[in-house]
Structure 1
Amino acid sequence: MKLWGTRFTKETDRGVEAFTSSISFDKKLYRYDIRGSMAHAKMLSKCGLISREEAAKITEGLEEIGLEIQEGRLEFREELEDIHTHIEARLREKIGDAAGKLHTARSRNDQVALDTRLYLRDEVKEIISAIIKMQKAIVKVADENIEAIMPGFTHLQPAEPVLFSHYLMAYFWMLQRDRERFKDGMARIDVMPLGAGALAGTSLPIDREYAAGELNFPGVTENSIDTVSDRDYIIEFTSAAAILMMHLSRLSEELILFANPAFGFLEVDEAFCTGSSLMPQKRNLDVAELVRGKTGRIYGHLISLLTMMKALPLSYNRDMQEDKEPLFDAVTTVKESLNLFAKMIGTLRIDKERMLSLARIGSMWATELANYLVRKGLPFREAHRIVGEIVACNYKKITLASLRKHSGEFDKDALSLLDPKEVVKAKASYGSTSLDQIREQIKKAKEKSQ
């Protein structure tokens, strides 16, 4: 059965059937296709386009087909092209001619747009929940290690001492923005496309708002050509997914670095590591490495979608069939990465002494020593020059006498700023690495991740 076959006099080449078939991947949409068809049948009945009895037969048949697919009893055949055709063909086998009325005032163009929107709406909700789960794991570890001090880096070189909790909470706020992006994108996803037809709408008396209500959409699309022409809501989702994966990739890189004995800041539980077939001592952070690697794949999906759409004339083109595999893979990858990361973060064991010892090297007191001179009234550029000279002298031990060789403004209290704990304690600005500020951040984070 082909939905379009009567105009043709020749059979489709088998190679063409294989090349154009999408059933191998779009079968994932079967629940949404059935749900959308049920709502469409109910709307057709309400509008007098089919009888109540026909709508009831269609609904009952669709429910049975859904169960068949769920239980693996429906055979998928390449010549039936896609999930929409499979379901309609099976429905015809079950209920006869009434099945042919289901496609009244509907095209596969608006049908597939509906299916992907329903699918993506559910998946975005799951992704947001997974982000919150990871945020909670981050907050828990930060709270448990709130006073631990570590070296802060710029250019991966020693910069200033910071609280480990401050460092970790940076990822909470990155994830918060990711969460907001997905939530904001939902406004573009959660719009009902059914009724747009192939591109021009329909002359039949349908009720799009009624169908939208049946499917819990807050509204309908405004322009039927736009409805079937664009996939910007999928591209926007994939963009948000790419940004999220970029954040996870950065955290992955740092976990790999910080778990290396050369850093020795932390240890990840063995449940999230693998070994080597040759080197008995190896403890590899394969989860983090794979998240880092899979990030590139999500970037590729985004570029693939943008490139696919960049020169398509309005309205629908078959090129757009190629949106499904990148979308499905992006959804699966993001969900798996978030769920594994949430578990892995919760297993971190922090070596506080090691982090503090490395925060004592690399002249990480330098900025705060310059600030000391600023508080004494020196211009910052002058203070910067003086402290730079002190660093260049590479003193084995800095004393008050050695400080005063460079500026008479130094008093005994300046020596306390050589201690990473005092440097951290000195910070006072909003959002800084001071303990009070981090406590406030954690408090806000707990409220946001409820």
Structure 2
Amino acid sequence: MTGQGSPGPAGREAVAAVWRIESARIVGALARYTGDFALAEDLAQEALAEALVTWPREGVPRNPAGWLLTVGRRRAIDAFRRRAALDERYAALARDLDEGGAALAAPAGEVRWDPDQIDDDVLALMFIACHPVLSRESRVALTLRVVGGLTSDEIARALLVPTATVQARITRAKKTLGAARVPFAVPPAEERAARLGSVLSVIYLIFTEGSSASSGRDLIRFDLAGEAQRLARVLSRLMPGEPEVHGLLALLELTAARFPARTGPDGEPVLLEDQDRRRWDRAGIRRGRAALARAEAAGRGLGAYGLQAAIAECHAVAPSVAATDWERVVLLYEALGRLAPSPVVELNRAVAVSMAQGPAAALPIVDGLVAAGALADSHLLPSVRGELLTRLGRPAEARPELARAVRLCANERERALLERKLHALGPGEPAPGR
């Protein structure tokens, strides 16, 4: 190996940096060579482990990604040799390594990557990691591992679960994919639309947990939200003709653009009406609006993510809460409710109605959700109902709602905000009923 750079910590940092950027391509290339996704992920991890030992001692190679891929391919040959001496797959891989190994070990400028093939590899990885045969938890863990390049420890910290749980999910996911004989390939066109929904939902789920953490001390999990944005950007480059991919990217960019103003100096939540909009990320807003324009330009109408992005755009371009086009927001939520109905969408529509027409118009919508037993274990419904009742001058009814929201809220920052709202109502006997 030709080394350059300093050994020691610099080598370990280089391993981490290269792995984060190139891991999806490396795993994808190994999966294409071996035809075995689970084996490819194991081989990539073995190459990573070897780099963690070698680079700090001998220096960083001129072409780090090529080094990792070469090591992974050699490990693949060793694995096939152990399985069956000189079978056809081993022979083909050996010939391929003999012909291409020198190029892979050369400096980065001399490597003959096929950009289209690389794109196909990463896209195939996304579809495999988010395959419908896997549970939602497994899809998230596997996506963060093979597409995001995160280690098991990093995923565990991101998801607030033990490392052993993450490792078990990834192992189980790979076994499931193997048992289902999922091929390493981008799905055919007739299957792609249905499977794309799974990919988008996983990225959205990762971002949602990052933008409004369901538990813990931090309101925003910047690591998760940032990783979801990165995955969405990658996907938008890989599938530029899919409007809903651009819709999701627009939603993430526009939502994340408000992050700088969503928390105060000590990490406490800052409500929308109190946010300093000068702190919003204008570059992020421009990126989000550009992605939304690409989704609209397809001429097929906005999907669920595109409609949410359009709602986020209404907030992004408004100079204040009062100046927001709330009537348009209500219409967009109505369209979203028809396309992708859910209690959360209906609750958000109620909030928009309260801003456009007043709390009295919104309360029946919320009461309908209560009657239907929706969101029974979530703090969202009682917190909105308590807010509406407060605005209507009915504190005796608002108190038990906010108290229930406090009990159900697992995020420390958000719970503290609800407690302040409850305290602001003053003492009093709770109203009968819920």
What's the TM-score once normalised by structure 2's chain length?
0.29
Looking at CA atoms only, which structure, 1 or 2, has the larger radius of gyration?
1
Q: Relative contact order, CA 8 A, sep 6+: which one is greater? A: 1
What's the TM-score once normalised by structure 1's chain length?
0.28
